[in-house]
Structure 1
Amino acid sequence: MTDSLKSDPHFFSAWADSWWDTDSKMNPLKSFNPLRFAYFDPYAADGWEGVRVLDVGCGGGYTTEFLHARGSVVSGVDVSPKLVAAARRHAEQTGKDIDYRVGAAEALPFDDAAFDIVTCVDVLEHVQSPRAAVAEIHRVLRPGGLFMYDTINRTFMSRVMMIWLPERVLGIVPKGAHDWNDFITPAEMNAHLTSAGFTPIGAAKGIAIRGQNKDGSLKAKLTSDISSLYLGVARR
């Protein structure tokens, strides 16, 4: 697939050395975490303090550090050795105890039932096999554990909002970051979840991107529209 991470799993490695720079090309990704966790938080009934959390596809560590700040016992895994090195380096420089490992979502380097919660954000549309990745996430979760994710719907709207506008017009996402053919419809996602043994809970929500602020952060909000980027939660 042309320009797909399925043919280049290390696409984002090119930004590893600058991941945490103030003018990093990846900085807009930080804007999603407050919105994601505004959606996820009600499902984490006991809060995040002391909870064992794995972030699958952690990249350079934006979400793992967000979780660490909430008191979670955090691990992160990414297929890119360069991104894992960048994440480790920043955690060490800022005094954060985060367990980072190199590994694919479809073959997680962790024991069965090792985590209370697994997060996987902006990742499933990039992996070789979303179904295998979801099955592996199920394996590493304890019984009753939660899988919290977001991914991108395969619609005309997502082609406009997630590829054409951010990559080709606004230039806030590197060209080639997404392949529309790799996007996952909610029906397909639910099939992956049920096949793995998950029970979806709650109603999915979307994130609408409205533009970019002067500081590089994104103008975005939670919405009931799931035609583009959408979030969900499932229980093991």
Structure 2
Amino acid sequence: MEIHHEQIPEISRYLQQHKITPEDQERRFAYYRRLMERFITVGPDTTVLEIGTGTGWLPIMFKRKGIRCRGLEISPQLIENARKLGAECGIDPEIDLGNIEDTDIGESRYDMIIASSVFEHVQFWEEGIARVYRALRPGGMFVFSSTNKFSFLSGEYNFPLYGWLPDKWRYRLRIARQGPAVMKLGIDFNQFRYGQLRKAFRRAGFTEVMDVFEYHNPAEASSPLKKIVLHAARFKPLKLLFTTFYFSTEFVCIK
């Protein structure tokens, strides 16, 4: 996806819909911190990269807690917003302008890379995953979440069975309701499936690939429903059902 320096209405809508408090981000940071401590050794040299920083809160929170975190963001508007938020907290977030398809993020530089609700917007997504793999240090972790094609409800757009629609139908629906600018930034090129992603992560070289039903502790689930689903998914026939219709695709991958 290309970088657009002009003001895009979709970004303004996004910021209006995501007025997140520091308390919300404390919980989000705590979640990622627990994941880090489970899979890697956290020390003074630990370095994190967030791909698609959105509002910019996560790089701010990591830096506030003494962990170096860089960000990569495709929208100049969102980077500007993040710097304003950082200034309010006395933090200067390290966020670079770029997209994961074209930007060189280095080799063996990061202990953890996070991409939350990002890769559905990445047209050449397997190239992006290859870049992530190269940028991780040996033993580093990739925390991934994105769309799930056959979910009944989509966090991407509020429309029944949205992910089930053919690509061209989704594009026409979004353009009709949000205007053509949505194709510049905000459109979902990809509606993923668990099996598809697991194979892609293996092809990239990851030695361990865990979906949400394998790495997530049900006791830490964010809602009672999610807790029930995570417990039930321990039974193989139910896991196949849940991975087909779960509301998102979520993985932790170890290099």
Q: Scaled by the length of structure 2, what TM-score is found?
A: 0.65
- The aligned counterpart of 2:17 is 25
For 1:99, the aligned partner's letter is E
- The aligned counterpart of 1:200 is 208
| Structure 1 residue 7, shift from structure 2 partner | 8.8
Do the aligned partners of 2:40 and 2:140 also contact (CA within 8 Å) in 1?
no
Cα pair distance change 1:69/1:183, threshold 3 Å: farther
Do the aligned partners of 1:53 and 1:115 also contact (CA within 8 Å) in 2?
yes
- The aligned counterpart of 1:184 is 192
Matched, 1:99 2:79: no
2: distance between equivalents of 1:220 and 1:77?
33
Do the aligned partners of 2:29 and 2:58 also contact (CA within 8 Å) in 1?
no
- The aligned counterpart of 1:85 is 80
Matched, 1:148 2:143: yes
- The aligned counterpart of 1:75 is 70
1: distance between equivalents of 2:156 and 2:147?
8
2: distance between equivalents of 1:186 and 1:12?
28
Match of 1:120 among 108, 115, 124: 115
Q: SS at 2:158's partner residue?
A: helix
| Structure 1 residue 183, shift from structure 2 partner | 1.5
Cα pair distance change 1:11/1:165, threshold 3 Å: same
| Structure 1 residue 39, shift from structure 2 partner | 7.0
For 1:235, the aligned partner's letter is I
2: distance between equivalents of 1:14 and 1:48?
37
Cα pair distance change 1:102/1:109, threshold 3 Å: farther
- The aligned counterpart of 2:157 is 163
For 1:228, the aligned partner's letter is F
Cα pair distance change 1:43/1:165, threshold 3 Å: farther
Do the aligned partners of 1:77 and 1:84 also contact (CA within 8 Å) in 2?
no
Percent identity between matched residues is 19
- The aligned counterpart of 1:214 is none
Q: SS at 1:53's partner residue?
A: strand
Q: Scaled by the length of structure 1, what TM-score is found?
A: 0.70
2: distance between equivalents of 1:65 and 1:219?
30
| Structure 1 residue 66, shift from structure 2 partner | 3.4
2: distance between equivalents of 1:11 and 1:228?
26
**Count of matched residue pairs:** 206
Q: Deviations over 1:23-47 (max 9, x none)?
A: x311369578368538734534434
Q: Deviations over 1:93-129 (max 9, x none)?
A: 3222421100101123432111111001010111112
- The aligned counterpart of 2:234 is none
Higher normalized helix content (fraction of residues): 2
Q: SS at 1:147's partner residue?
A: strand
Q: SS at 1:164's partner residue?
A: coil
Cα pair distance change 1:35/1:116, threshold 3 Å: closer
Q: SS at 1:234's partner residue?
A: strand
- The aligned counterpart of 1:215 is none
Matched, 1:52 2:47: yes
| Structure 1 residue 130, shift from structure 2 partner | 1.6
Higher normalized strand content (fraction of residues): 1
Matched, 1:232 2:251: yes
2: distance between equivalents of 1:219 and 1:201?
26
Q: Could you say which structure has the larger radius of gyration?
A: 2
